[in-house]
Structure 1
């Protein structure tokens, strides 16, 4: 049931409230979200289109919040507007979530019988019942409730959810994209007076703290494998963030930042003389517009990185991959996702120790989010890691 919200919709007297409570108790940890209760908290408490739509949207917002905390929300209400629900299903999918709608369908005679058996103060006007029944549109998964007790209906809903989950797993297994969580290395311990040697420049104390802080987020993501650049600051980050979790960490030179190796250890004054007007940008981490001697060109570096991700997608299709690396490779991945040329432009913020998430195919890239903190990632529901 991971990352699924269940919405039970139906006419009054269809048993939504009791069935939702039964399902909440069986899907623990779960929470029941009643549209009637949410609507009752507002003023006015009428049945106008304004208040109904606001309460329904509030229910779904609350469901997303509970999903982020690891609960299975069970929402119940009439939810008459199926066009509204279609939009909400799309909204959930875009967040990597699943909204499953089950419509409890009862015949008019059965609903009338249920209505007449209720306390007189809780009964609905019969003419109003007929009106609602005539205009109610089915949506989502349909479940016949005629003559059934709430316990039977709850069992039927669980059967539908199991079938839905199986279908979702088959769909995921057939996916061709790799799910890539890209972690920027922690803050480096920059030398004060020379161009840094990327193999000798490790993390600062702050950078080690950032790497350790990322560990719980990595654990929540449950990667199948971890790739890291072979530059020391990235390797140390991967070791601190993923090593204690017993994950397979693979070093790959293709993930390196573009640097000028022949300048390593050169004094900053000489670097400024050699690189001219581009020196300050290079020293601040943006070498896009600078070429130097026989060093790797910008285009060669960009091609190196994008080739790596294309091969990674083929090797880990349908799997979750943690990549620990640098600003340049991240910028080229974003560039491909957006279909834009951004050479020299590093205005898209990506802090050290922060995450971005991509869907990477052999020839395609899409981006889910950029520059999210470890705390945000750690609040996401934990996916189930498949057994080999």
Structure 2
């Protein structure tokens, strides 16, 4: 599915009732002190990171969440398990919800990247949508695969409530799309650890109820 660069579109959804998505970022990871680009490297959660998601799960326990979706990376799956347990919901993994692949940049922090690959770093800051940092996928490509996964989820749960525990970059592209923004809006959206976002989807439109809560 192409990034819309305009109004959200899911023409198969009901007009009269929302399909609500509780979109979360995973909790604090073991590499947080170095602030590395983890990408698709399968880093784990710290004890605090797991607690962060358990606290969000307690907030969502009374919501009629029918299913919880995660990527297949453990930091996403562990958070999804906490949400699914609290809500009594089924848990599903989708590799399409993985974080952006940063290639050769993975495991490095911003200072290390800017020193080793100054041209690539500058290109990414200038055009985050279409540059391929570390030789891998662009954020536009991340958006296309994440939106394709979202379409599957929304078709399956039209008119229901679901939770998606994903990653900072993936969440940003999904939020930008829901807001009708182009990929250049990515760096204007914050996603802290265990961030909670709420999006109500209707036929051909989306209403963003909460960002980075």
Distance 1:276 1:213, change over 3 A: same
**Aligned match of 1:291:** 132
**Aligned match of 2:158:** 317
Distance 1:267 1:289, change over 3 A: same
| 1:141-220 pair list within 5 angstroms | 175=16, 177-190=18-31, 192=34, 196=38, 198-220=40-62
- Once the two structures are TM-superposed, the CA of residue 326 in structure 1 deviates from its matched residue by 1.7
| 1:127-138 pair list within 5 angstroms | none
Given the alignment of the two structures, is residue 226 of structure 1 paired with residue 68 of structure 2, yes or no?
A: yes
**CA distance in 1: counterparts of 2:73 and 2:41, whole angstroms:** 5
Q: Could you tell me the TM-score, scaled by structure 1's length? A: 0.44
Distance 1:278 1:320, change over 3 A: same
Distance 1:291 1:274, change over 3 A: farther
Larger Rg: 1
Distance 1:354 1:264, change over 3 A: closer
**2:77 counterpart (212, 216, 235):** 235
**Aligned residue pair count:** 197
- Once the two structures are TM-superposed, the CA of residue 249 in structure 1 deviates from its matched residue by 0.8
- Once the two structures are TM-superposed, the CA of residue 348 in structure 1 deviates from its matched residue by 3.0
**1:358 counterpart (194, 199, 202):** 199
Given the alignment of the two structures, is residue 370 of structure 1 paired with residue 193 of structure 2, yes or no?
A: no
**CA distance in 1: counterparts of 2:106 and 2:191, whole angstroms:** 25
Q: Is the 8 A contact 1:223 1:321 kept in 2?
A: yes
Please state which structure has a larger fraction of its residues in helix: 1
**Aligned match of 2:149:** 308
State the Cα RMSD in Å: 3.3
Distance 1:359 1:242, change over 3 A: same
**1:276 counterpart (113, 118, 128):** 118
Distance 1:205 1:278, change over 3 A: farther
- Once the two structures are TM-superposed, the CA of residue 344 in structure 1 deviates from its matched residue by 5.7
Aligned-partner SS, 2:208 = strand
**CA distance in 1: counterparts of 2:108 and 2:178, whole angstroms:** 36
**Aligned match of 1:336:** 177
1:166-217 C-alpha deviation (Å, 9 max, x unpaired)? xxxxxxx985742111112111111749754644311122211201111212
**Aligned match of 2:101:** 259
- Once the two structures are TM-superposed, the CA of residue 356 in structure 1 deviates from its matched residue by 1.1
List 4+ stretches of structure 1 deviating above 6 A.
Answer: 266-270
Distance 1:371 1:327, change over 3 A: same
Q: Is the 8 A contact 2:72 2:95 kept in 1?
A: yes
**CA distance in 2: counterparts of 1:341 and 1:252, whole angstroms:** 24
| 1:11-50 pair list within 5 angstroms | none
Aligned-partner SS, 2:150 = helix
- Once the two structures are TM-superposed, the CA of residue 305 in structure 1 deviates from its matched residue by 1.3
1:45-96 C-alpha deviation (Å, 9 max, x unpaired)? xxxxxxxxxxxxxxxxxxxxxxxxxxxxxxxxxxxxxxxxxxxxxxxxxxxx
Aligned-partner SS, 1:346 = helix
Aligned-partner SS, 2:53 = helix
More contact order relative to length (CA 8 Å, sep ≥ 6)? 2
